[in-house]
Amino acid sequence: MRVLVIAPHPDDEVLGCGGTIAKLVKEKNEVYVAIVTKASPPLFTEEYIAQGRREAMLAHGYLGVKDTFFCDLPAAQLDVTEHKKVNQALCDVINKVNPELLFIPFIGDMHLDHQAIFTSALVASRPNTNNFPKKILAYETLSETNWNAAYLTPGFTPNVFINISEYLPAKLKAFSAYQSQVKPFPHERSVEALEALAKLRGATVFCEAAEAFVLIREVVE
């Protein structure tokens, strides 16, 4: 099976489904990651930007990602980027990979980049196109999914849980590769918080660790 994970920013793919990536790779699936945005000066230095890309490749190496695509759209500016440009960037990646399974950020996330990418991902994977993804899952991202406005924006209520008990160490190792992003606990972007969420999601379905998703669409032949 060919799998594509769409990440708004470097580290979202590990936060949301790093354990699932490792599991799918171990089960002989081809997993690809598309990082949609790129930071830019003057808010970020060239060295910081280069570091983020190195960290992504290191994390993906730990997980066994087959290939990584960098779309290089402007980070934190997708709300002012032409919608068709975002659509086209995701169409290009989806057409290149032809995934059967697609992972995307959740529509209710706080970050506007996440919301824009959710919408464009659905445009790019419409079922009236050739080789459209038969299954689409939305993942949760610590410090984005859980900080939306309760009762006013869509809440993340997972209905799919993937057991990553065996792969939690790989997820945490991959996240640790993002040294520019890792924060000390009790910050949500900490190794400890990420482990705690995995264990909470696991306990929900009576396993040691899990990642949770919202099923957006599944076509059963």
Q: What's the fold here for domain 2-218?
A: Rossmann fold (3.40.50)
Q: Are 37 and 8 in contact (CB under 8 A)?
A: yes
pLDDT for 220: 94
Which residue ranges make up each domain of the chain? 2-218
Lowest-confidence pick of 58-62, 130-134, 135-139: 130-134
pLDDT for 148: 87
pLDDT for 77: 93
Please enumerate in sequence order all residues whose Cβ is within 8 A of that of 197, keeping only pairs 6 or more positions apart, or say none.
142
SS3 34: strand
pLDDT for 221: 87
DSSP 8-state class, residue 214: E
The tens digit of pLDDT for each residue in 148-206 reads 888 899 999 999 999 999 999 999 999 999 999 999 999 999 999 999 999 999 999 99
Tell me, what amino acid is at 218?
E
The tens digit of pLDDT for each residue in 33-87 reads 999 999 988 888 899 999 999 999 999 999 999 999 999 999 999 999 999 999 9
The tens digit of pLDDT for each residue in 81-111 reads 999 999 999 999 999 999 999 999 999 999 9
Element (H, E) at 121: helix 112-124
- The distance of Cα 29 from the centroid of its chain, to the nearest Å, equals 17
Tell me, what amino acid is at 212?
A
Q: 44: buried, middle or exposed (CB in 10 Å: 19+, 13-18, 0-12)?
A: middle
pLDDT for 214: 98
Question: 82-105 burial, b for 16+ CB within 10 Å, e for fewer?
Answer: eeeebbebbbebbeebebbbbbbb
Distance CA 98, CA 3 (A): 8
pLDDT above 90 for 131: no
Which single residue is written with the structure tokens 């079922």? 127
Distance CA 50, CA 67 (A): 18
DSSP 8-state class, residue 140: P
Q: Are 126 and 94 in contact (CB under 8 A)?
A: no
pLDDT for 108: 96
pLDDT for 84: 96
